[in-house]
Chains A and B, each alone.
Chain A
């Protein structure tokens, strides 16, 4: 079960810089560690994170073994129209996660 927390301000003015935050619960296994029996634990990281604003891609992050467990990202977009902000991500095992939040943009 993937758990994520996102923070999208519910309202914004048109043209305003809007801060978005996302935290995903994920071990971000590097592939360099071994278990108690000396067997390599396979690499498993959230390799791609996408953010779509009303369907168009506004942000993309490609992550690897250098990112700590439970990645936390914070970035900015410019508010244009009311609509939905959708986050989606996928890890090396192919497990997908998604979260979204509406935003109301006033003139």
Chain B
């Protein structure tokens, strides 16, 4: 009897632990699998991928001195190809100094203002995109890997709530398209699972490179909701939740999307 009771308790505990985990599509599929053959071909050939123009520029910027310190990224971090390997797969993470959630864009600008004594780069400027794409490229092929702990639990929960909350004139939440209806058509496009792993990515619609926050704002616009600013706390929290949700998928930076 006692044994059976223990078993029941164990089952209940495992059910409630499962319920605490937000829904995740299974199996996880990168947006590339929902793209057309031409977009996939563009991504797979590194030379024809227009995103690679930004990484080429990023490599130059990495070695260029900036600010009053006249230090370049390479002065401290040396060769990005070895020292930045796998770094962006772990972002966004809580910065030890400021105890704030920081993404790669924020980290680059923190380095610029504090270590290089330079002006921060504008969000979605070609320079910031070039640097973040170049850093992201060093993690290409590695699995997205963020840990949710006591430090970022609050951010994670806020991001999760945003993902599941209806918003805008359309009264839709992210989950309605990207969890329940991926693979189906939205006008001419196939709805993807909405993962963050290719960003910053070149979008044919934009005819240029763009950050994850620019892409997220486009979704807010799509459901006719108020768009949070790029780099705002709302989008950072959502970015953390998306990274958790994409855990196990390979980083595709710099991606190519329609």
Contact = CB atoms under 8 A, between A and B. Distances in A.
Interface in B168-211: 207-208
Interface string A1-44: 10111010000000000000101110110000000000000000
Contact of B57 (A23, A25, A68, A72): A25
Interface string B46-86: 01101011101100100000000000000000000000000
Interface residues of A, number: 15
Contacts, number: 37
A5 B207 contact: no
B207 A21 contact: no
A5 B50 CA distance: 10
A103 interface: no
A68 B207 contact: yes
Contacts of B48: 21, 23, 72
- Give chain B's interface residue range (CB within 8 Å of chain A): 10 to 19
B164 to A, nearest CB: 33
Nearest to A71: B50
A70 interface: yes
Nearest to A68: B207
Interface of B: 47-48, 50, 52-54, 56-57, 60, 207-208
Interface of A: 1, 3-5, 7, 21, 23-25, 27-28, 68-70, 72
Given A4-B53, A23-B50, A25-B57, 5 more contacts: A3-B53, A3-B60, A23-B52, A69-B208, A72-B48
Ranked nearest first, the 8 interchain pairs of A and B with the lowest CB-CB distance are A69-B207, A25-B53, A70-B50, A3-B57, A3-B53, A7-B47, A3-B56, A5-B56
